Amino acid sequence: MVQAASVALHVGAICAMSYGYNALHSLSAETWISNQYGGHFQFLTIQGLAVAWLTMAVGLLEDFFPVIKGLRSIKRTLFMAGMPIATMVSSIYWTLLLTNPHLILQAIPGEPGEASTILVLPLRIDLALHAVPCLALLADFMIFEHRYGRKAILYAAPAITLICTLWYASWVEHCATKNRTFPYPFLTLNPFEIRLRIYAATGTLACLSLYALNALHPKSR
């Protein structure tokens, strides 16, 4: 039987995240971003958005086709990758936006003779990209999912977090060699040794956030 609340969450999250990503193409900075190596996918925000979108999509399929057992395994694997990423993206983005916006907001070069402009997203797009993925995954996990077992938390969680961390660190460093700048100013402003520490710290905190969220999961489910 299809759970109406689960369907509503999945459809709503998919629509909101799709809107946020598609709305990026209407911004004045779209030409500059699309001409960069890696385009929008330089940003961890967009990679996290993609994983969260896929998680919601698989969840929606499971709502209608619960007899397909493989969907649950796929969704829970995506959850293990997407929830820590979304949590870290939201935590870092909103903290820096409120305290040190120059460290998180990209400066878009102007035409010759013109000053750079800071890429400030409209609030509705900002929320769709930097709040909805985290909130949707957390709601789905806490309400409709079971907590992860001991083996998954001890072995799978660190492995998946490590893979995601190494992937993004390698990818963003590669993009920066082509673009001569990083998608996030706090990376551009720091030397390689400090960036390595940032990647390691972020990956560690992401894994710890999954531990914490799993521990906070209602034990009755």
Buried b / exposed e over 103-115, threshold 16 CB at 10 Å, is bbbbeeeeeeeee
pLDDT for 6 equals: 96
pLDDT at 56: 98
Q: What is the model's pLDDT at position 128?
A: 98
How confident is residue 10, by pLDDT bands cut at 50, 70 and 90? Answer: very high
Are 147 and 221 in contact by the 8 Å Cβ rule? The answer is: yes
pLDDT, average across residues 40-47: 96
State the alpha helices, DSSP H only, in 131-182. 132-144, 150-151, 157-179
DSSP label at residue 154: I
Distance CA 77, CA 83 (A): 10
What are 96-149's pLDDT values in tens digits? 999 999 999 988 876 655 557 888 999 999 999 999 999 999 999 999 999 999
Token pair belonging to 82:
């997407």
Q: Residues with Cβ < 8 Å from 163, sequence gap 6 or more? A: none
What is the structure's pLDDT at 111? 60
Distance CA 70, CA 52 (A): 18
The yes-or-no verdict on residue 221 having pLDDT over 80 is no
The token duo for 211 is: 């531990």
Task: Tell me, rounded to whole angstroms, the distance of Cα 97 from its chain centroid.
Answer: 16
Interacting residues of 157 by C-beta distance below 8 A, sequence separation 6+: 80, 148, 207, 210, 211
Decide if pLDDT at 188 tops 60: yes
Indicate the helix (H) or strand (E) that contains 60: helix 44-64
Is pLDDT at 76 greater than 60 in this prediction? yes
